[in-house]
């Protein structure tokens, strides 16, 4: 199931958003309180996704130049 995200994030706010999505998508999570290590791992994965996105944006800007 996929729901629309609002400004506070889905299913409980922005604080849980990164772990929530790393744990299997929107609104399908069964645990509400990830461990500190799980939160860190999820944030690192999110950081890596952002870096990849930035690389793609930079490549696209070069193509358009």
- pLDDT per residue over 19-45, tens digit each? 555 555 556 666 789 999 999 999 999
Domain ranges for the chain, please list them.
14-64
- Report the pLDDT averaged over residues 50-58: 98
Please tell me the predicted confidence (pLDDT) of residue 41.
Answer: 96
Is the pLDDT score of 53 beyond 50? yes
* 1: confidence class by pLDDT, cuts 50, 70, 90: very low
Structure tokens at 27: 């609104």
Helices (H), the chain: 14-22, 36-64
Which residues contact residue 3 at a Cβ distance below 8 angstroms, ignoring those fewer than 6 apart?
10, 11, 26, 27
């Amino acid at each position: 199931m996929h729901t629309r995200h609002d400004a506070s994030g889905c299913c409980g706010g922005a604080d849980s958003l990164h772990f929530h999505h790393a744990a299997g998508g929107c609104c399908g999570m069964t645990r509400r309180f990830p461990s500190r290590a799980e939160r860190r791992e999820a944030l690192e994965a999110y950081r890596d996704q952002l870096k990849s996105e930035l690389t793609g944006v930079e490549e696209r800007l070069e193509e358009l130049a």
